[in-house]
Amino acid sequence: MGKSKVLVVGGTGYVGRRIVRASLAQGHPTYVLQRPEIGVDVDKLEMLLGFKKQGAHLVEGSFSDFQSLVDAVKLVDVVICPMSGAHIRSHNILMQLKLVQAIKEAGNIKRFLPSEFGFDPARMGHALEPGRVTFDEKMIVRKAIQDAKIPFTYVCGAAFASYFAGNLSQMGTLFPPKEKVLIYGDGNAKVTILEEDDIAAYTIKTIDDPRTLNKTLYLRPPENELSQKQLVEMWENLIGKKLEHISISEQDFLASMKGMDFAGQVVVGHLYHMFYEGALTNFEIGEEGEEASKLYPEVKYTRMDEYLKLYT
């Protein structure tokens, strides 16, 4: 048995480009959907041509042409769709329903990995409006996958390092604060933060692994399960300076939603669940899931003290 052939839908996106690179690095024949919707976005064109140089195959297809999706799916064994579910970028989760239909029609796919990677939506039934739309839509996609009896793996459970580590989890910036740092509540809720290339590496590891078939892979490597206070302390130790810590209460944080646009309200809601509830880590993994670093100890994931050195 050779390695599974992989189609990445959304391969020029923030997570998608890393999935493509990881798939190639792990020796999978890798196909990337080339969508006419990119128009004259030359950055995406250059990325696609770069993938081609590295050995990926470009496959034309469009969500507005159902048969083209079916034809693309028939070329491979596994489909991964890391399309954006973030309102601060683009929000395309329900577009995956067309892909689910194409996979069902093609009838040959042995594993589908839809857009997930963050909170486990199955655990977010209590989520606040308006941010809960992300979880509700992911559950609609999950139901369609399971109704169509498509084999799946859901990859969940980590905050992206670029958004949550270097900035010490501050809103509105991607760089660390110079003097003052906002601490959410007591700052002790645990959050798993992973470098995005590590997320991609773990994702690709699952696709030929029977242990993750029809299960959720939780990204919770123990050394990267950190509280915000621990993260801030790592940074302070690196720079040899104490920042002024300003705690914001749960009530004040939620009140800050007022007057924000829709995307801002979504972000506040998600941060609330992450830093006040600890929703990425406040549960035991049961029979429905596996933990990534236990299954794949060969993945040498980046520790956050090392990652933060990039910002010094």
Tens digits of residue pLDDT in 110-169: 999 999 999 999 999 999 999 999 999 999 999 999 999 999 999 999 999 999 999 999
Alpha-helical runs (H) found in the chain: 16-25, 42-53, 66-73, 96-106, 132-147, 161-164, 196-206, 228-239, 250-255, 262-275, 292-295, 304-308
Please say if the pLDDT value at position 86 is more than 70: no
Catalytic residue status for 98? no
Nearest-angstrom CA–CA distance, 111 and 166: 34
DSSP at 213: T
- Of 291, 298, 134, give the one whose Cα is nearest residue 224: 291
Q: Which two tokens stand for residue 281?
A: 């880590």
Please say if the pLDDT value at position 266 is more than 80: yes
Nearest-angstrom CA–CA distance, 74 and 61: 12
- Of 130, 86, 127, give the one whose Cα is nearest residue 261: 130
Nearest-angstrom CA–CA distance, 258 and 270: 15
Please say if the pLDDT value at position 81 is more than 70: yes
pLDDT bucket at 85, cuts 50 / 70 / 90: low
Nearest-angstrom CA–CA distance, 73 and 84: 20
CB 97 within 8 A of CB 141: yes
Chain centroid to Cα 256, Å, comes to 26
Among 44, 138, 205, 215, the one annotated catalytic: 138
As a whole number, the mean pLDDT across the chain is 96
Tens digits of residue pLDDT in 190-201: 999 999 999 999
Task: Kindly tell me the burial class for residue 233, based on how many C-beta atoms sit within 10 Å of its own C-beta (0-12, 13-18, 19 or more).
Answer: middle
Angle at 299 between CA 298 and CA 305, to 5 degrees: 125
Helix and strand counts by DSSP (H, E) for the chain:
12, 13
Helix (H, G, I), strand (E, B) or coil at 111: strand
